[in-house]
Amino acid sequence: MVYVGPAVILGVLWTCPPSHPSPTYGIKGYKTDNVNSRALIGQKKCFSRPRAVNVDLQTDATLQVDISDALSERDKVKFTVHTKSSLPNFKLNEFSVVRQHEEFIWLHDSFVENEEYAGYIIPPAPPRPDFDASREKLQKLGEGEGSMTKEEFTKMKQELEAEYLAIFKKTVAMHEVFLCRVAAHPVLRKDLNFHVFLEYNQDLSVRGKNKKEKLEDFFKNVVKSADGVLVAGVKDVDDFFEHEKTFLLEYHNRVKDASAKSDRMIRSHKNAADDINRIASSLYTLGTQDTTELCKFFLKVSELFEKTRKVESRVAADEDLKLSDLLKYYLRESQAAKDLLYRRSRSLVDYENANKALDKARSKNRDVLQAETSQQICCHKFEKISESAKQELIDFKTRRVAAFRKNLVELAELELKHAKGNLQLLQSCLGFMKTNT
């Protein structure tokens, strides 16, 4: 579960008169901790400030990054990125900057486009914060305020706000995971852009991609996937990589499927919990109106369902956190691993082409030196990528196993806890009712 620190200031600004077309509101001063984000990448649990940080990673002492605060505004989220470092590169030992989603994307893309990092699994970019659905629901609620009772309205408002908060927490966690992964990587953590991102306390003036650039990206992706298919056909000499290729392809597809099915399952769970909520309200009204001894009965059952549905909502939320998020994250990471394999295969093809060109040049005895240098460059590049790729893929597996193990164990614990809680509520209510009839 995501722990909300004691210093949280949660003020929801609700400025939405019914006639206003679109509401503006924000959740201020939200503090998060990195328990869940670290769990996703298989790192040991850390506690949020001000408690002592559990230093478990070899890299932690020298560079520690987290998102200490976040503010959600109308159409953007502002993250406060907080860094603690003993490295000489930084001016101070501890500092914070405010960053938006686009700047994270800029950083990620700069890694992808950097040839030097071709041999690493680039930590996947965090997904864009998406509050549209939640905002729409809150807006609809504001419009329908007149048509429901005050209690119903307050109840629904609280639920929608909780939903909004949950999405908010998630997006903060996703962005934090990205930074932690970069900070933990022995090479990427030294990247200059990363340091600028962490330290430069003014706006990076990174705008989102305009239409033309988005179109360029689209074509780039089309070319890449076509190329990917071509390159994938090349059989690898190295058994390790051949195995990894087959494995990753299948794994990626199955994680995708599992992620989608998990989402659907959890949505059904939420729907059922919402129904129990409505049932509880109806039973309450019945209880207050009934003239027979059933009124006590209805009120007791209504109370019970209020409590059990909160438990059911928690079950759905925990499944979301421990299962869905885990699967979604490894969907992205396995894609990043596939990209690495693609880059390696690409460089292998380039190497082989360079070899062919060299042979041709030698036979024609023309531009031999040029062909030789070109071949050497390709060879060097290929070997460098292969070497680091092997380690990266091994690390990927270690991280994956650790993350799954942790999340599955925690999932089991939470499910058990909630089921026991539910059971106790039900049994005590039943006990009361049976003695009173």
Partner 1 sequence: ILLSDGPSPAITPITPPTSVIAPLFIDTLCLDKCTTLREEVDDSFDINISVSDPEKVGDGMNAYMAYKVTTKTSMSLFKQREFSVKRRFSDFLGLHSKLASKYLHVGYIVPPAPEKSIVGMTKVKVGKEDQSSNEFVEKRRSALERYLMRTVKHHILLKDPDVLQFLESSELPRAVSTQALSSAGLLRMVNKAADAVNKMTIKMNESDAWFEEKQQHFESLDVQLRKLHISVESLVCHRKELSVNTAQFAKSAAMLGNSEDHTALSRALSQLAEVEEKMDQLHQDQANADFYLFSELLGDYVRLLAAVKGVFDHRIKTWQKWQDSQILLQKKREAEAKLQFTNKSDKLQQAKDEIKDMEGRVQQDERDFEQISRTIRKEVGRFEKERVKDFKTSIIKYLESLVLTQQQVIKSYFTFRYVTASV
Q: Residue 238 Cβ, how far from partner 1 at the closest point, in Å? A: 17
Residue 98 or 402 with smaller CB distance to partner 1: 402
Q: Residue 408 Cβ, how far from partner 1 at the closest point, in Å? A: 4
**Site track 260-279 with partner 1 (rule: CB under 8 A), x = hit:** -xx-xx-xxx-xx--xx-xx
Tell me, by CB under 8 A, how many residues bind partner 1.
56
Q: Residue 23 Cβ, how far from partner 1 at the closest point, in Å? A: 28
**Site track 238-257 with partner 1 (rule: CB under 8 A), x = hit:** ---------x--xx--xx-x
Q: Is 297 in the site for partner 1 (CB under 8 A)?
A: yes
Stretch that binds partner 1, among 227-235, 348-356, 383-391, 398-406 (CB under 8 A): 398-406
Stretch that binds partner 1, among 50-58, 64-72, 369-377, 396-404 (CB under 8 A): 396-404
Q: Is 149 in the site for partner 1 (CB under 8 A)?
A: no
| Strand 77-85 to 63-72 pairing | antiparallel
Q: Is 408 in the site for partner 1 (CB under 8 A)?
A: yes
Stretch that binds partner 1, among 31-39, 94-102, 177-185, 410-418 (CB under 8 A): 410-418
Tokens matching residue 367: 């531009």
Among 294, 368, 377, 394, binds partner 1 (CB under 8 A): 294
Q: Residue 309 Cβ, how far from partner 1 at the closest point, in Å? A: 10
Biggest alpha carbon–alpha carbon distance for the chain: 106
Beta-carbon count within 10 A of 360 CB: 12
Stretch that binds partner 1, among 3-11, 97-105, 228-236, 282-290 (CB under 8 A): 282-290
Q: Is 427 in the site for partner 1 (CB under 8 A)?
A: yes
Residue 105 or 433 with smaller CB distance to partner 1: 433
For residues 230 and 342, is the Cβ–Cβ distance under 8 A?
A: no
Residues that bind partner 1 (CB under 8 A): 247, 250-251, 254-255, 257-258, 261-262, 264-265, 267-269, 271-272, 275-276, 278-279, 282-283, 285-286, 289-294, 297, 301, 304, 308, 397, 400-401, 404-405, 408-409, 412-413, 415-416, 419-420, 422-423, 426-427, 429-430, 433-434, 437
